[in-house]
Chain A
Amino acid sequence: MNPVKIQRPHCLGLLFCLFVSIGTCLGQSFTVSGYVTDAEPGERLYGAAIQEQQSSSGCVTNPYGFFSLTLSAGQRELNVSYVGYQKQIYRLRLAADTVLHIALKSDNTLEEVTVRARQADSPEAISGMKRIDMKDVRSLPGFLGEKDVMKSLTVLPGVSQGYEGSSGIYVRGGSPDQNLILLDGVPVYNVSHLFGFMSVFTPEALQHVDLYKGGFPARYGGRLSSVVDVHMKEGNMYKPHSSLVLGPVSSEFMHEGPVVNGKSSFLISGRRTLLDLFVTEGARLAQMNNDEKIIPGLNFYDTNAKFNFYINPKNRLYISLYKGGDRLFSEYSDRSEWTTGVFDENQTKVDLKWGNTLAALRWNSQVSPRIFVNTTLAAGAFQYGIHNRYSSLHTENKETDLNKATVDYQTRIATHSVQVLADWYLANGNRLSLGAEAGIHIFQPGKRHVLNSSGITLDDGNQEVRTIPLAVFVEDNFAFSNQVHLNAGLRYEGEFVNEHLFNQVSPRVNMNYRLTENWQFSASLATMFQPLHLLTNSSIGLPSDIWVPATRNIRPETSQTASIGIIHNFPGQLRWSGELYGKMMHDVVQYKAGHSFMDLAKDWEQMVYQGKGRAWGFENAFDYQDRQVKAWLYYTLAQNQRQFDELNNGNYFPYKFDRRHDLNVGFNYKLNEKVSFTTMWVFQSGQAANIASGDYPVMGEIAEDSAYDPVFGFELRGWQPIDLTPHYNAVRLTSYHHLDVEAIFTRQQKKSTREWRVGIFNVYARQNAYYYYPYVRKNGTRGYKQISILPFLPSISYRLTF
């Protein structure tokens, strides 16, 4: 029997196939994709850098921690890094599309903390963008020891607060309504607690905050001046963790942990003030036997919940919930007995309630190795209500006469939306994002119901309006090289209001050029569109502001912003960044003369002007950080103006919060692992005010002999002249400044960490004006008085994490 003889042609053919196969494998490209997370608690990291050692190809993770890198087949070494975490090296043999889940360990050694120019395509390479981590928020001294996200933003150049204690922020000349504030993708329409001294964000429940002052990516829209994107923690996937904070104003509790280890997690937190327990109950006890009683009350609360479900390696589901509110109330009662059997009992109850309710369902899906999709269903609402009750009972010889009156007022805004965002990694260094949004806005600008003691009812106010917002956008993040990065996009957004469509196409461009390791330049242009307005002129943090939609009479607001910037790293740990910006705003609104939010239920369209705004500024930031010291100096020189045809003879005038100089100097010193100190000095030029500098007589026959405000009870007597204000907002109030210090004492134990914070807000008791009002001096001239409520304030608070 003859053996099977392999013919030579067949051998050659087999060898050929083998070599071809090997050769094919060696020339092919495959995609490595996946997620980068914190090793514990498993939070996804945005902006982590992944770079392939041999080819130098790289990318950064998107906001959901996803990355995608296309590499040639073969042995590959991936360097994965993120600020504050230990660098990791992944070695793999790439022979097919591969999915990786990379967990980075936190790095507490400060050698790794270097101040350096950000990677060209990292999030913070965007001009005007800044990320704030919660540890940065906690390191700043706060009002009565309270750590607040919105307050921490005001430390940054280009961001200022309004009045003392206000939680509204003014970004590059804009007003508070021009900030898109998101909590896990849901718009928050009112962020104030406690008259604006605190915001609705509970620090223990948050992961980080991204602030965009300019260079807005096309995925964001609907506001002119900034985006404050607040991200909640996702919940620790591996072990339970809790924290408790007890402070003089509020206390909070947070608990997170796995539902199924490594697969799903949850987080719940709650915060409440304890003020009312002392103030209200103390007043009740003290006045228990009084005929006349005044019982005030004030409280606020926040609750957060987050659920995180790992469905499979390519799909993840998140649920975010928030509910919070404030209540301010006062009960007045008095009883007067005239003679036996004859007495009067009067009672007045004033009750103000306001709050937000938010919910979001987010689905992350990796459709293919290069396509990531995020779908978000969001719902949010803010409402404010006033409920006043008056009653008067007259009793005479057992016969009673009861009079009652009620005033109810409500305003509300709600949003329901769906957004789909797809990140498509076309090539290494080129990520194309496509998205679409649709939803519904519901506006109730103010509705009043009055029932007076005569039985007369009054129902007035504005009707509910529903609008439909729509948007589609495309955005390309393109790294031309390791030195040049471009983020360019186009956003089309529209709003249907009463069958009328307002719309705009908004181009966005942001370019970043790294000349050397130590020199970096940036430039950006952005057009923004805002189809809703906030009617506001109140000076304290009561939710008296009313959100209204654009209409045919009151058009949407638009803006164009341009900026150029430079970053330089000095030898050592000192870094300087400078940014020059200019902004034009169109169709901004302002209440007409003589009108205010007190015109609760009038037709709002008749109460406002529309005009223009312009702002420019030069922001400077000096940062220094080493093992023990962190210092900063932020200075902004800026000008901010408005123009309305009906005011100031149609000339530009200073905006109320035009503050020429804004300076923030801070110093944080870590003595050792247990003790650290922080001090911060804040300075802002005086705001502009429209206070009459003079007056002149009115024609006698129409002269009014008193000026009285029935709501606040302020009164001026005597013939009233005409106030003379030659130029609008020409008066400057005194500058605003204060010095805050804080000492932190930390004790690390086996299973817990305890922290005491002792601080003083406003060390030298500067009396910054919170509020001012007119009055008549003894010599008959008219002046103004200011009320300051935050002089020297010591505080102590306690934080326990376990």
Chain B
Amino acid sequence: MAIALCFILFACEKELKVDYPDEPSVPVLNVFFTPDSLWKARLVYSKMKTDTSYRPIKDAQLSIVGDDGSTTILHYTAEGYYQADIFPRAGVRYTIHALLADGTDLSGTSFAPEEPNLSVVSFNSAWSTYLFDADLMDYSVMPVYVNISDELATANLQFRFWNAFPKWGRDVNRYFLSSDSLVVLEQKGIPASVINALLPLTDQWQMSFYAFEAKLNNIPEWLNYSSKYENILRATMQTQPETDPRAFDWHKLSIFSLDGWLQNVGNNTSAVFGTCRQAGQANLLLSDDNLKWRMERNAPDERDQYWLEVRNCSPAYFRYTQDYMLQVSQRMNPYAEPVTVYSNITNGVGIFAGYNRQLIKLMDY
């Protein structure tokens, strides 16, 4: 008996033709506010998937009214941004109104909670391995214990772990060389050519020691004895830690928790969220393979800083942030049910939400 088999199977891939419904653009109002930042809002129109940029709304009237009787008017700057030179206050419930030229009135209400004021009880460099169940990957983690006071017993909290490294041309400290101290340097044997090069940099804070090095590296006398002269120069300068976050590049690191009330969102590892049920302790696991590697080899980099950020979130902020992270986390999973991100803006979309933040420096390493 003769058997003939014919089997052809191949896959074709092409652009999916989607018949999008004819939906008009929607005004988008985005405001996060916190007591340590000036009021700033962004007002644009949403775009279709086929467009590449958002159309800013330039001619709206934005006002923020607080239940403390305050009224703040925001002024347009550029690219859809509006701002005011006023800081929000914690505990005040604010309502924003954005009146567009076509008469549409967007509004939203929220408040900024009090600052978290948590304290780190302890952390140690006892590294262990944590298996994250969302992606089944191993993470090297070290435990950190944080104290939660009674005031935060029902708060919505978000924790993040950051690595801060000074931006190029900046340092972890600022440096000040007074013109008066040049005499001291001369007395200590610093050559005149070096003194003359330093003169323009005196009596003003410099962002980095490199500002001085750049001037001095062309001077042969300096180069011949640079380590000896640098020690003298550093001992003469005043220094203070750089506190402006904009001076650093901030990198999100991974964070987890073994507490049931604190959880990651989807397969995102950059934050844990949770609503406190009672005062006590939060047990966090911080992960950075680079830090672990350097600790094991006792090879610190003094310019590297590690910070724990805690945000006390308003309900709107808490929900919006988690929805967004979940939507992005599942965006490439073709099987996940779609996520609609929370919006508290009437007559539009977006968010008006307050939070309050605490940054706790864990270590320099």
Contacts and interface: CB of A to CB of B under 8 A. Distances in A.
Contacts of B333: 596, 598, 709, 711-712
A464 interface: no
Nearest to B130: A456
A716 B332 contact: yes
Contacts of A246: 3, 5
Interface string B42-62: 101011111110100000000
Given A593-B339, A709-B332, A724 B26 contact: yes
A733 interface: yes
Q: Determine chain B's interface SS by DSSP, over half rule.
A: loop
Interface in B1-31: 1, 3-21, 23, 25-26, 28, 30-31
Interface in A697-734: 697-699, 701-702, 704, 707-712, 714-716, 720, 722-727, 730-734
Contacts of B23: 693-694, 726
Interface stretch (A17-25, A119-127, A474-482, A773-781): A773-781
A723 B327 contact: yes
Contact of A601 (B12, B133, B329): B133
Interface in B313-365: 321, 323-341, 349-351
Contacts of A595: 336-337
Given A725-B340, A781-B50, A789-B12, A699 B32 contact: yes
A697 B6 contact: no
B138 interface: yes
Interface residues of A, number: 92
B338 A723 contact: yes
Interface string A419-460: 000000000000000000000000000000010111010101
B267 interface: yes
Interface string A754-797: 00000000000001010111100001111111111101111110
A53 interface: no
A553 to B, nearest CB: 18
A690 B32 CA distance: 28
Given A248-B7, A594-B339, A796-B4, A693 B21 contact: yes
B13 A785 contact: yes
B38 to A, nearest CB: 14
Given A246-B3, A696-B54, A730 B335 contact: no
B126 interface: no
B337 A593 contact: yes
Interface residues on B, range: 35 or more
A594 B6 contact: no
A456 B131 CA distance: 7
A107 interface: no
A798 interface: yes
Contacts of B214: none
B303 to A, nearest CB: 23
B324 A702 contact: yes
A588 interface: no
B20 A784 contact: no
A795 B267 CA distance: 44
Given A246-B3, A727-B21, A787 B13 contact: yes
A393 interface: no
B71 interface: no
B30 A697 contact: yes
Q: Which 3 A-B pairs have the closest CB atoms?
A: A709-B332, A714-B332, A786-B16
16 contacts: A249-B7, A278-B7, A593-B339, A594-B330, A693-B20, A696-B26, A697-B42, A712-B333, A712-B334, A720-B331, A723-B331, A726-B21, A731-B21, A785-B14, A787-B12, A788-B11
Interface of B: 1, 3-21, 23, 25-26, 28, 30-32, 42, 44, 46-52, 54, 129, 131, 133, 135-138, 266-268, 321, 323-341, 349-351
Interface of A: 144, 246-249, 274-275, 278, 407, 450, 452-454, 456, 458, 460, 537-539, 544, 590-598, 601, 647, 686, 689-699, 701-702, 704, 707-712, 714-716, 720, 722-727, 730-734, 767, 769, 771-774, 779-789, 791-796, 798, 800
